[in-house]
Chains A and B, each alone.
Chain A
Amino acid sequence: MDVIADLTVQGVQMALVLLLAPLLTGFVRKLKAHLVRRQGPSVFQPYRDLLRLLRKEVVLAENASWLFRVAPYLIFAATWVAAALVPTFATGLVFSWSADLIAIIALLGSARFFLALAGLDVGTSFGGIGSSREMLIGTLAEPAMIMIVFTLALIAGSTQLATMADYMLSPAVGLRVSLGLSLIALIMVAIAENARIPVDNPATHLELTMVHEAMVLEYSGRHLAMIELAAALKLQLYISLIACLFAPWGLARDGGGIAAYAVGIAFFIVKLAVGGLLLALFETAIAKMRVFRVPEFLGAALMLGLLGTLLLFVSKGL
């Protein structure tokens, strides 16, 4: 029976991330519209968009290979698995042992790889430029992410997310500069990875600056739905990752029972809302930067991660 219960909880987690992801995207859009005094579409608009896309016919370019057709499913699957591994409302899930931060980064990295390949596959110039820029951002964001993981792993003594969250909940953490530095660096990486405003703006089709949009220009129908859903999942993944590492309050512990899980889910939804609110505020307050300033931005994130690791050696704990 225990196994069935555990699997149910894990299934709830997988379903929850999938169901909430478009809502989060819609919520951020709605907030951004309100902040600039516009009405904005309903928060449920992303669901409608996805359903509409799923019903539509797929239009393929003549020279699209099998890779072009397979890539959306691979991207979606990798992102969904990664999002389902991050502890959102409970730490002691069945697959917690595999919820390793490095594994999650690898999953996201392979999703990015396929997206870039798909962008190149059709052979349009936009796809090429998008893939090239995406790889530029990726090669800079990943080292920064790895440095953040090193810092956190050195503090918590493990790269497993569940263990890390448990450690962050315990009073042993204390006040550390390294944690603050890695939080800021993680937010910067999350902004770059999710193609949010200072780095990229997926809401426009401006060829001077677009990165993510340029790669998916050729997609239509259900393929586009998969990619859009994967993008929403990725945004949610990063917010829940930040929440799980730096604000792990309300996470249900191992074998907490139904009540603890319900509280965990409520906390998770509140955390997502707060994350979305902060993101919307940040995005309306800041201007988009030039593409060639992105390396500096991510270089700063890498520097913060590195500094965090260095400062760990000064603090008393290590």
Chain B
Amino acid sequence: MGTLSFDVAHLLAGGLVLVSFMMLYQDRLYALLNVFALHAVVLALSVAWQAYVQHAPHLYVTAAIALLFKGMVIPFALHRMVIRLGIHREIETVVGVGMTMLAGMGLVALSMVVMLRVTPTADPLAREDLAFALSVLLLGLLIMVTRRNAVSQVVGFMSLENGLVLAATGAKGMPLVVEISVAFSILIAFIVIGIFLFRIRERFDTVDIGALDDFRGERR
């Protein structure tokens, strides 16, 4: 494998981690959604590059799905949803951005330590992709944990899924059927989450998850 192909793959996968950090940094919903669209675009580029390097044409389909659904349809739908919920001006984070970023750094370091220890004999490209994918996944979880607003938790969930796709394309030989079914299950999950959002909103007049805790009788 040539240096250039490795370098570009490295660049794109590293860029995905960086965009995850940008998502962690945003404290406004609109900006968060825009960065999420960027995340999907970087993912699509990364997957397309893997398809080119591995000579696996079916990965182009995955890239197209990522670009079309996660890069355009879902951010657009979320934009409309945010406007309809009337929360497009809100700022929401649980703890300060600085602490969140530090926690994120810790997670990235952790995933690298784990992946580099576990896979010393694997192909360097796959190995590095796995390390990056694990960090994107953990950062997605961190976004879900540090946000109170249900919409940004959905974004965290979607970015977590982007990490899974990155891992799947790095490890060669995921069948197309699986990819398509994963993509569609995400779409279904998105629709279900969207319906839930409006239900939560109807019930509690807010999409702040803190309201659910009160409902269950747990006081903070």
* Residues of chain A whose beta carbon lies under 8 Å from any beta carbon of chain B: 174-178, 180-181, 295-296, 299-300, 303-304, 306-307, 310-311, 313-316
Contacts and interface: CB of A to CB of B under 8 A. Distances in A.
A104 B75 CA distance: 45
A31 B22 CA distance: 30
A304 B19 CA distance: 11
B31 interface: no
A192 B102 CA distance: 21
B17 interface: yes
B6 interface: yes
Mostly helix, strand, loop or mixed at chain A's interface?
Answer: helix
A303 B17 CA distance: 12
B174 interface: no
Interface in B42-95: none
B18 interface: yes
A310 B112 contact: yes
Interface stretch (B124-132, B158-166, B205-213): B124-132
B128 A314 contact: yes
B128 A310 contact: no
A315 B21 contact: no
Given A300-B101, A306-B105, A310-B112, A175 B18 contact: no
Contact of B10 (A176, A296, A313): A176
Contacts, number: 61
Interface string B140-182: 0000000000000000000000000000000000000000000
Nearest to B4: A175
B101 A174 contact: no
Nearest to A181: B18
B7 A296 contact: no
Nearest to B13: A177
Nearest to A184: B18
Interface of B: 3-4, 6-8, 10-11, 14-15, 17-18, 21, 25, 97-98, 101-102, 104-105, 108-109, 112, 116, 124, 128, 131-132
A300 B11 contact: no
A307 B108 contact: yes
Contacts of A315: 10, 128
Contact of B105 (A178, A303, A314): A303
A177 B11 CA distance: 5
Contacts of A300: 25, 101
B112 A174 contact: no
A147 to B, nearest CB: 11
Contacts of B102: 303
A314 B21 contact: no
Nearest to B115: A314
Given A175-B10, A310-B105, A313-B116, 20 more contacts: A174-B3, A174-B7, A175-B4, A175-B11, A176-B7, A177-B18, A181-B14, A181-B18, A296-B98, A299-B98, A300-B101, A303-B102, A304-B18, A307-B17, A307-B105, A310-B109, A314-B116, A315-B10, A316-B124, A316-B128
B3 A303 contact: no
A181 B14 CA distance: 10
14 contacts: A174-B3, A176-B7, A178-B14, A180-B11, A180-B14, A181-B14, A296-B98, A299-B97, A300-B25, A300-B101, A306-B105, A307-B17, A316-B10, A316-B128
Contact of B101 (A178, A180, A303, A310): A303
Contacts of B112: 310, 313-314
B14 to A, nearest CB: 3
Contacts of A177: 10-11, 14-15, 18
A43 B124 CA distance: 53
B111 to A, nearest CB: 10
Which of the listed residues B7, B8, B102 has the most CB atoms from chain A within 10 Å of its own CB?
B7
Contacts of B108: 307, 310
A108 to B, nearest CB: 24
A307 B101 CA distance: 11
Which of the listed residues A299, A300, A303 has the most CB atoms from chain B within 10 Å of its own CB?
A303
B21 to A, nearest CB: 7
Contacts of A306: 105
